[in-house]
Each structure stands twice: as structure tokens, then as C-alpha cells.
Structure 1
């Protein structure tokens, strides 16, 4: 299934911190356009150990895109009720650190008698005073990997949905291009014939004025040669054939499976080359306008193709 390179997924898991306390862990996965697969991680220290496993999962599932994994956690709101039945659930005071802090405060007040004593909140926030339950490393890693796997699945699903929508847009554009080719291609021989007629008249006038000494048959033969050579230069049959071949290749790619972004990007270059050639060989205003419309549609396709994996 064809996928877009942009998408989002998230999932959450719970981690036991011990003493009856549970942490709510959420992992988010965001993806935007990129020529290659570019993985980024913003994980708290507790979740760092899961990065290699997440990287391997993403590499197996994705081929292009700038993908970032973010994780955050907080103590479950039910911890307040747990704290009433288990005073150690939200942490334990470190008596050694508390005594050291008290000693430091006394010394500071001796040096600065007017200094205000530390509040309870400030004491509890002092590093090392409260030993909070942190859980086991294995529990954090397992929960992070599980949440990342679910988030990656959600991301993939969203990319598939957007990819399906982009396929519809691109198919509509190729249909418009085929209509332009269908209308203009049968008219080209007529335009070329009209242009050859005008060119013959101009060459006849120019050569007759410069080479009156030559016979009429010789003069017309030279005119015929010049017109034939010019007709070869402005023949666009091959361009139309290649244009239709490239459009069919685009449709085949869109109907296939797996990453197609790079192939479609190459086909956009080929389509643009044929449209430019049609424009340069144009022998009528209608042909020129058709070539310009084709180039505009190709540019619209190119913008959409940049979003495909």
C-alpha cells in the first residue's frame, strides 16, 4: 500500500514505580517529508534504554521520512489515594540529606542572621532529600517499546490513509493530462501542414528574389528540402508517444505497492522534459497553450509526489 511521508501516532502504557505508585507513560511518533529515513528521539532518562529497539522497529517499518519519537510520563493521579494508605508511596525522606541540609541552614543563618528559613516545599525540593519510587529499568524499557510499537502502528495507518488520498489526487491529474493529449495530438498534423504551407510561401518569395537565375524546378526542389528538414525538426509524434508512456508508468506505480516516491519523482522529470520539448516545437498557439497546461499539471503532481514515501 502506498503511503504518505507525513503522519502522527501516539500510545500510552503504565509503569509500576513500586510502593503501589504507577506512572502514565505516553509515546508520540511524528513524521514529515525527507529524502531519506531520518530518526530522532526525545526520551526521558528512564526511557533511554528503549531507543535501540524503537530504532530497529522504525527501520523495518519505514523507508523515508523525518520521524521523531517523543516520550513523557507523570505519576498517575490515583497516587494521592495510594499515599493515604501507604505513606511511602510518594517517596521517603533521606534522613542523612535532611540533617545535612539542616546543618547548612544553621551555618548560613550564623553568617546571615536576617536570612529566612527554608520552607517545607523548598526542603522537599532539595536534591536527594526525598527518595521517590522510580521503578525498574526493565519495566521502563518494556513499557516504552510497547507504547512506541503501538504509536508506530497508528502512524503507519495515518500515512496509508493520506497516501490513498494522494493517489486519488495524482490519478485525477494524470486523467487531465490524457485529455489534453487526446484533444491536441490529432490536430498536430494539420497545424504542421498549415505551417509548412506558410513556410513554403515565405521561402519561395525569399529564394525567388535572391536566385532569379535558377530554374523553377531547381528552386522548388530546394524549397521542398528545406520544408522537409524543418518538418522533421518540429515533429512531435515521439514526444506524444513518450508522454503517454510516462503517464502509464505513473498509473502503474500508483496502482502498485510499497515505496514509490523516488520513482515518481524521476517520472516527473521525464514528463517535464517532454512537455518542454512540445513547447519548443510548437507550431500553433493552441499547441503552446496545451504544453503550458501540461507543465502546470506536472508541477502540481511534483508537489504531491514529494509527500509520498
Structure 2
């Protein structure tokens, strides 16, 4: 399965001409339905709809459609309905003009001081009449399915880019872990020799050059305790285990965002422990480089579904 990002955008439009009543000859207005979907990262699926009044009735079916394909993300759905004609001015029907005239006469009979209808008022009411006469039942869902398909494609492309980046960082972390492994035995041997030399110097100052066996055992014990304190073999083993699981999940794909986020936290924990046990500048540098890579991975994993 592919890896999906939660970030994506898609939009589509559908245009249709409004049919004039039989027997009337007038400029046919063109009505355009527009639909766009924006998606960003979120812990859960959060759907927001911004629909005009003519399309409010479609929110439940749109919510069901999106919920069946999207599992996580903050998703905003916007729809618009625009009506235009060759002159960009709606053409009022004789029936509407007659109705407006009768309504105006009735109102002014009761309210003589009421202002008469202006041309702008008539155009606005004509546009409203044309907008409400359109039934979008046959157009909204096919358009929504088209936009959703494009959104999924966009999220898949972004997810593939994130997966490639994460696999590259995993390879770099493996290299750093390999570099850290041989450093510890070398440090242990250096510290053991340093303990022995210091005990020899101390004993030479007090009892001559001969080093008692008990003192030598004490030096070896201290060296052993030091070796235990700086041993990072367990951390490196766990770190490699987490990297193996990360790589497996990324190649498997699907809904892996939350599991990747947990593993990133565990990687960060091991890198911190590696740094706290560091007894050499080289190991400190490796720990810092690991944490930089892990932090970059954390930021990108937040966008994976």
C-alpha cells in the first residue's frame, strides 16, 4: 500500500446552461458549480464544510464520502455556485417582472412612501430566481468523487516524497550507529590502561614500584565499572531494531502515521541515552547528528496519515 500524506489540495468545476421556460427566447445563463478540498495534518479526521444555501442538503453525503476514504487530517470543503450569461447580467423572465410589478403595487397600496424597485433590485431578484431553480442532485456527487480522487492522488504523491526522505534518514542513522559501535571497546581499553597507570603511580609514591595484587584488582574493578557506565551496545541494538520497524512500516504503507510517531519518540530516547553515556567527543558528535536527523523525521512524520 502507498504512504499517504495528510497534506493535499484538489478542485474541479462543472458548468451547465439553465434551460429557459418553453416559449421564451432569451440569453441562456451559464451556471458553474465549483468544489475544492484542502487538507492539512491533524491527529484525527476533522471535516469542515463551507457550502452555499443551495448545497447545504448535500453535506451529509459529502461527509460520508470523505470519511470513507480519509482517515486523518483537517479537511476543508468549499463549494460555490456562480451564474453568468453572455452579458454577465441575468435576463428577468416576463413572469417574474409581472409578479414583481403586482407585488410592488400591493405593497405601495399599504405603504405609499415605500421606495419603488430599482433596476438593480430586479436584476438581483432575477439572479436569485435562476440560482434556486437549479437542481444539483445529479452533479454534486460525481464532481465530489472527481475532486476526492484528485486529492488522494495529491496526498499519495506527497506521501511518496516523505517516504523517500524518511528512508534516506534511516540509512544515515544506520551509518551513525555503525560508527558508534567500535568506539566503545576502544574507550574501555583506553580507560583500563589509564586506571592501571594511575594506580601504579599512586603505589610508587607510597610503597615503591611494586603494585600489590589487591590494588591491581581494584583498578580492574574500576575499569569494569567504567565500561558498564559507557556501554551503549544495548542502545545501539534497540536503535537498530526501531529503524528496522520504521523501514518495514514505510514499505508496507497504509495508515502508519501514529505508529511512526511513536517509533520516532523511541529513537529520540535512545539517541539521548547514547549522548548521556558518551565518554568521547566522537560519540557526542554522533549523538548530536542522530538527534538532528530524528527531529527532521519527526516533523515529516506529523504529515503522514
TM-score of the two chains, using structure 1 as the length reference = 0.83
Secondary structure at 2:37 match in 1: strand
Task: Tell me by how many angstroms 1:135 deviates.
Answer: 4.8
| Closer/same/farther in 2, CA of residues 144 and 208 from structure 1, 3 Å limit | farther
Q: Residues 65-86 of structure 1: CA distance to partner in whole angstroms, max 9, x if unpaired? A: 0001000011143586994xxx
Q: Hey, what does 2:261 align to over in structure 1? A: 265
Q: Hey, what does 1:8 align to over in structure 2? A: 9
| Closer/same/farther in 2, CA of residues 210 and 226 from structure 1, 3 Å limit | farther
Kindly indicate whether the alpha-carbon contact (under 8 Å) linking 2:192 and 2:220 is maintained by their aligned counterparts in 1. no
Secondary structure at 2:181 match in 1: helix
For the pair 1:49 / 2:57, whether they are aligned, the reply is yes
Q: Hey, what does 1:226 align to over in structure 2? A: 222
For the pair 1:121 / 2:119, whether they are aligned, the reply is yes
Q: Hey, what does 2:23 align to over in structure 1? A: none
Q: How does 1:1-309 map to 2 (within 5 A)?
A: 1-14=2-15, 18-19=19-20, 21-78=29-86, 83=91, 88=93, 92=97, 93-103=99-109, 106-107=112-113, 118=116, 120-124=118-122, 132-135=129-132, 139-202=135-198, 216-309=212-305
Kindly indicate whether the alpha-carbon contact (under 8 Å) linking 1:236 and 1:278 is maintained by their aligned counterparts in 2. yes
For structure 2, the residue ranges without an aligned partner over 5 or more in a row are: 21-27
Instruction: Give the Cα separation in 1 of the matches to 2:126 and 2:150.
Output: 41
| Closer/same/farther in 2, CA of residues 62 and 123 from structure 1, 3 Å limit | closer
Instruction: Give the Cα separation in 1 of the matches to 2:29 and 2:66.
Output: 31
Task: Tell me by how many angstroms 1:21 deviates.
Answer: 4.8
Kindly indicate whether the alpha-carbon contact (under 8 Å) linking 2:195 and 2:222 is maintained by their aligned counterparts in 1. no
Kindly indicate whether the alpha-carbon contact (under 8 Å) linking 1:58 and 1:152 is maintained by their aligned counterparts in 2. yes
Task: Tell me by how many angstroms 1:308 deviates.
Answer: 0.9
Kindly indicate whether the alpha-carbon contact (under 8 Å) linking 2:188 and 2:226 is maintained by their aligned counterparts in 1. no
Instruction: Give the Cα separation in 1 of the matches to 2:57 and 2:207.
Output: 90
| Closer/same/farther in 2, CA of residues 68 and 166 from structure 1, 3 Å limit | same
| Closer/same/farther in 2, CA of residues 2 and 131 from structure 1, 3 Å limit | closer
TM-score of the two chains, using structure 2 as the length reference = 0.84
The count of corresponding residues between Structure 1 and Structure 2 is 294
For structure 1, the residue ranges without an aligned partner over 5 or more in a row are: 109-116
| Closer/same/farther in 2, CA of residues 129 and 16 from structure 1, 3 Å limit | closer
Kindly indicate whether the alpha-carbon contact (under 8 Å) linking 1:2 and 1:257 is maintained by their aligned counterparts in 2. yes
Instruction: Give the Cα separation in 2 of the matches to 1:131 and 1:179.
Output: 67
Q: Which moved more, 1:188-197 or 1:288-297?
A: 188-197
Task: Tell me by how many angstroms 1:219 deviates.
Answer: 1.9
Kindly indicate whether the alpha-carbon contact (under 8 Å) linking 2:188 and 2:223 is maintained by their aligned counterparts in 1. no
Secondary structure at 1:282 match in 2: coil
Task: Tell me by how many angstroms 1:99 deviates.
Answer: 1.7
Q: Residues 120-173 of structure 1: CA distance to partner in whole angstroms, max 9, x if unpaired? A: 2354268x6887134568x32442222222111111110001111111111111
